[in-house]
Amino acid sequence: MIEFKNNKGIFQQIADNLCERILSGEFKPGDKVPSVRELAALLGVNHNTIMRTFIELQHANIVENRRGIGYYVTTTAPEMIQQQRREEFFKSELPAFIQQVKLLNISHQDLQPLFDQLNENQNENK
Amino acid sequence: MIEFKNNKGIFQQIADNLCERILSGEFKPGDKVPSVRELAALLGVNHNTIMRTFIELQHANIVENRRGIGYYVTTTAPEMIQQQRREEFFKSELPAFIQQVKLLNISHQDLQPLFDQLNENQNENK
Amino acid sequence: MIEFKNNKGIFQQIADNLCERILSGEFKPGDKVPSVRELAALLGVNHNTIMRTFIELQHANIVENRRGIGYYVTTTAPEMIQQQRREEFFKSELPAFIQQVKLLNISHQDLQPLFDQLNENQNENK
Amino acid sequence: MIEFKNNKGIFQQIADNLCERILSGEFKPGDKVPSVRELAALLGVNHNTIMRTFIELQHANIVENRRGIGYYVTTTAPEMIQQQRREEFFKSELPAFIQQVKLLNISHQDLQPLFDQLNENQNENK
DNA sequence: GTGGTCTAGACCACC
DNA sequence: GTGGTCTAGACCACA
């Protein structure tokens, strides 16, 4: 069960939850996700809200629709989710972090653990 | 007026708000801050909650107490607030950021704007 | 069992008692101290009073918290207790002693046993 | 009105209170102090307790008895009180202070303010 | 009027 | 089960 918070749209929160479950492997590429009515009843929200969720996920190439049957996880869903999160990261988290670094006058040395992680990432990609 | 959110303690949010107002210059070092019961009434919370706020701020050397008179902003308050925020940054924000960098497999180049800011900080300190 | 006196807060007396028991070795660094509600029941005080005790001890780096598990004696607890007592000494006991010396017009020679002790302390540190 | 505490005898506390009032000038040398019955009624204690107080004060040459009339403050009372307090100081306060200095491993330099006071005392006596 | 402490009891989140 | 927070209300000391 999801507990809905105030600061984000409910449809967005449901989408995030589905993405989480896809990344965790609960729904694999090719799997059918629960139907609109099913989810609406389970979460106690209007079915239009679920539709909005699926439309967003479809735009992001995370689910695809088979007319009259239901929504299915795309084969590229995990990568698409990852990519979307990267976009979110560059659009909002990174600027916020930079803002903090600026305000607190953080120095190069202070971020050593961050650089260690970056180097690890780079080695993985080799 | 402060809108109390769910994720942080009310007493903490009030403390944060007071720190903000000290940094903004609304309360200057040496100023008396509103009395415990005054704040409690104004914010519609229990006086014990305000006490908890002041105990925390006192431990952080941001306010000091004159018994029977009230709480006063310390001369070092702005620096102490800055210092506390740095601690918070290294204890919580930085690790969360590193976690994201790891999960999203962010590379060195992706963080160019961050490095630009770091270099600016360094130049200011010269 | 602690007998609560009038001049100090109960929460402070409980804190002092715990420090005593840490110094005596009853609670060693890394040990778990009794839970908030256990202590409250044992001492017949409200659990909020024990919480206040632990908040103070935590600020003094004498215990640390593991959420949902309990409070644990820090590895540095004995030194922190010693250090805190020194602070207390300089803040309150020494001024009171000086006040007495002044009122009673005590002379240099009268304090010979004190100087002997000071010299012993100095030799230990060599 | 005196509030009786638990750790000292009541007669002692009454004696301390009378000494305080003599030092403060409320009762001057040669003055008559309130009668046994009067004090007993005022303080709500047994007159034997007051008698015990006066016997102690008489032993200390702070009051003297004129048979059938009452107790009077001696001409030397202030000095005697001062002297008694010095005795108390050397018997109990100084040893306790030395004990603390030992436990906390206080150094010579730490007590600078004390030495300053001692030098002041010495100059007054010149 | 100021702060300070304590209680009783509720409700939450985490494990 | 653990800690953590908040409320309502009482009572105290100090000024």
Residues 6+ apart with CB under 8 A from C106: C100, D86, D89, D118, D121
State residue C40's pLDDT score: 93
Percent of chain A with pLDDT over 70: 91
Q: Which of residues 79-118 of D touch C (CB under 8 A)?
A: 82, 85-86, 89-90, 93-95, 97-98, 100-108, 110-111, 113-114, 117-118
- Give me C122's structure tokens: 């100095």
The amino acid at residue A104 is L
**Closest by Cα among A48, A26, A29, A27 to A37:** A48
State residue C2's pLDDT score: 67
**Mean pLDDT confidence for D64-93:** 90
C-alpha–C-alpha distance, residues D92 and C100, integer Å: 12
pTM: 0.77
The answer to whether the beta carbons of residues A80 and A61 sit under 8 Å apart is: yes
C15-42: pLDDT as tens digits: 999 999 999 999 999 999 999 999 999 9
**Closest by Cα among C97, C81, C95 to C19:** C81
State residue C126's pLDDT score: 62
- Whether residue A54 is predicted with pLDDT greater than 70 in this model: the reply is yes
CA atom of C52 to C1′ atom of F7, Å: 17
State residue B121's pLDDT score: 78
User: Which among A82, A102, A125 has CB closest to B117?
Assistant: A102
Query: Is the Cβ atom of B38 within 7 Å of strand E at any atom?
Result: yes
Please state which CATH number belongs to domain B10-76: 1.10.10.10
C36-93: pLDDT as tens digits: 999 999 999 999 999 999 999 999 999 999 878 999 999 999 999 999 999 888 888 8
| Domain parsing of chain A, residue ranges | 10-77, 78-125
State residue D4's pLDDT score: 63
State residue A20's pLDDT score: 84
- Whether residue A1 is predicted with pLDDT greater than 60 in this model: the reply is no
Domain A10-77 CATH class label: mainly alpha
User: Which among C82, C117, C124 has CB closest to D101?
Assistant: C117
- Whether residue C4 is predicted with pLDDT greater than 80 in this model: the reply is no
Query: Is the Cβ atom of C11 within 7 Å of strand F at any atom?
Result: no
Higher pLDDT, B116 or B34: B34
Query: Is the Cβ atom of C12 within 7 Å of strand E at any atom?
Result: yes
**Mean pLDDT confidence for A17-39:** 88
C-alpha–C-alpha distance, residues A27 and A43, integer Å: 18
- Whether residue D67 is predicted with pLDDT greater than 80 in this model: the reply is yes
φ and ψ at C26, to 5 degrees? -65, -40
